[in-house]
Amino acid sequence: MGNPAQLRDTFGRLHDNLRVSVTDRCNIRCYYCMPEHEVQFVPREEILTFEEIERFVRLAVSLGIRKVRVTGGEPLVRRNLHLLIRKLAAIPGLTDLALTTNGVLLREQAEPLYEAGLRRINIHLDTLDRNRFLRITRRDDFDRVLEGIETCRRLGYDPIKLNAVAVKDLTEPDVVPLARFGREKNIEIRFIEFMPLDAQGLWLRDKVLLADDIVQTISSEVCPLIEIPDRDPRAPATEYRYADGGGTVGFIASISKPFCLNCNRIRLTADGKLRYCLFAIEETDVKGLLRGAATEEEIARIIAEVVAAKWEGHEVNTARFVAPPRPMYAIGG
C-alpha cells in the first residue's frame, strides 16, 4: 500500500480524483436526471455510513487519491453532511475537497459545511427564469437556490462555480443571462453538455446544446471568449476567459469533445459500488468488503483492480453505445 503508481490504468492514466456519492435521494426532479414519479431509491441500510465512507477515502488517499468531490443525488439531503465533511477535511494528504449540490438547502447548510472545512462548491443552476426552473426541476425552488448562492458568497466560499446543463431547444435562452450573471457575481459558469444518463431515456443526440455553439453565442452577445490552453489537461472542463478580463467560463463537452484520454477519476456510489467511469456498465462492490472482514490491503487491491480494468473511453459517439443501467442520480454526478 502507499504506492500511488497502483492507481495507474493500462492506458497510463494516473487516478488521483474520487467522486463520492452520499445518497441517491434528491429534493428536486431534474428531468434529465430523475423520473418525475415513482423514483426507485436504494434502501437506507444499503447506503454507506459516514464511517465506511471515511475508511474508504483514507484508503484511497493512501493509494494516491488527492481530490474528493462529494455528490449525489442531492448530498445536502443526507442528514448531518457536515459531520462527514469534517471527517474528510481532516484526512492528511487529501488536498482538495469539494461538493456538488443543487443549492436548495444551502441557505441553512452552507455555514456548518464551511465550519467543517469545505471551501470549494459547485452549485447547479440551469436558468435564471423561474418558469423554466420549474419546468426543468419540477419543483419551485428557484429563490432558495439564489439565496444559497448568496449565502456561499457571503461566507467566502472560493471557488464557487455554477453548473448548467445545456439542452437544445430548452436552455438556449439561458446562455446569455447566465454568462452575465457569472460576470456580475465573479462566479464561473460551467456549461455541461446533456449526457445520456437520464432516467427516462429522453436523451437524443440532437438535444445536446454543443459547447462550441455556446462559446459563439457568448462571444457575440456578451464578450469574446478566448480558450485558456491546457490550464489543467486532466480537468473535465475546457476553460475560456473573457477578452476584457471579466472572468472565466467552463465547458464540459463530454459529448462533442470527450476528455476520456485524460480522465483521472473513479466513483463510489452511495451504496458502495466502485466505478471507473460515469458510463461504465459494470461496477464493483466494496460495501461488502467494508462491512465484512476485509483488510485494508484487500480493499486496496480491489481499488487497483477497478482502475486497471478501466476502458479507454466512453462509447457515446459509437454505434456500440449502451446507456449504463443506472441513471445520473443513482451513480453520482
Q: Which residues bind ligand SF4 (CB under 6 A)?
A: 26, 28-30, 33-34, 72-74, 102, 124, 328-329
Partners of 240 in the β-ladder: 227, 249
For the window 96-125, what string marks contact with ligand SAM as x by the rule CB under 6 A? ----xxx---------------------x-
Which one of the spans 43-51, 171-179, 191-199, 287-295 is the region binding ligand SAM (CB under 6 A)?
191-199
Cell output for 156:
467566502
Cell output for 313:
473511453
Q: What does 133 bind: ligand SF4, ligand SAM, none (CB cut-off 5 to 8 Å by kind)?
A: none
Q: Closer to ligand SAM by CB, 251 or 300: give it.
A: 251
Q: How many CB atoms lie within 10 A of CB 45?
A: 7
Angle between helices 296-308 and 50-62 (to 10 degrees): 70
Q: Closer to ligand SF4 by CB, 118 or 307: give it.
A: 118
Q: Closer to ligand SAM by CB, 155 or 197: give it.
A: 197
Is 152 one of the binding residues for ligand SAM (CB under 6 A)? no
Options 57, 136, 197, 306; binder of ligand SAM; rule CB under 6 A: 197
Q: What does 34 bind: ligand SAM, ligand SF4, none (CB cut-off 5 to 8 Å by kind)?
A: ligand SF4
The answer to whether the CB of 170 falls within 8 A of the CB of 211 is no
Tabulate helix, strand, coil % of the chain (nearest 5). 35, 20, 45
d(CA 72, CA 28): 12
Is 250 one of the binding residues for ligand SAM (CB under 6 A)? no
Cell output for 178:
447566465
Q: What does 29 bind: ligand SAM, ligand SF4, none (CB cut-off 5 to 8 Å by kind)?
A: ligand SF4
Q: What does 197 bind: ligand SF4, ligand SAM, none (CB cut-off 5 to 8 Å by kind)?
A: ligand SAM
Is 33 one of the binding residues for ligand SAM (CB under 6 A)? yes
Residue 4: CB minimum distance to ligand SAM, A: 27
Task: Please report, as a single letter, which amino acid is at residue 71.
Answer: T
Q: Which residue in this structure is represented by grid cell 481530490?
A: 67
d(CA 11, CA 58): 25
Residue 304: CB minimum distance to ligand SF4, A: 29
Residue 279 burial (10 A CB sphere; 0-12, 13-18, 19+): buried
Q: What does 191 bind: ligand SF4, ligand SAM, none (CB cut-off 5 to 8 Å by kind)?
A: none
Find the farthest-apart pair of alpha carbons in the chain and give their distance in angstroms, rounded. 60
Which one of the spans 70-78, 79-87, 133-141, 298-306 is the region binding ligand SAM (CB under 6 A)?
70-78
Options 17, 61, 68, 72; binder of ligand SAM; rule CB under 6 A: 72
Q: Cβ contacts of residue 32 below 8 Å, gap of 6+? A: 136, 165, 167, 194, 197, 198, 202, 203, 328
Residue 171: CB minimum distance to ligand SAM, A: 11
The radius of gyration of the chain from alpha carbons, rounded to an integer in Å, stands at 19
Is 324 one of the binding residues for ligand SAM (CB under 6 A)? no
d(CA 116, CA 113): 5
d(CA 299, CA 289): 7
Q: List interacting residues with ligand SAM (CB under 6 A).
A: 26, 32-33, 71-72, 74, 100-102, 124, 163, 165, 192, 194-195, 197-198, 328-329, 333
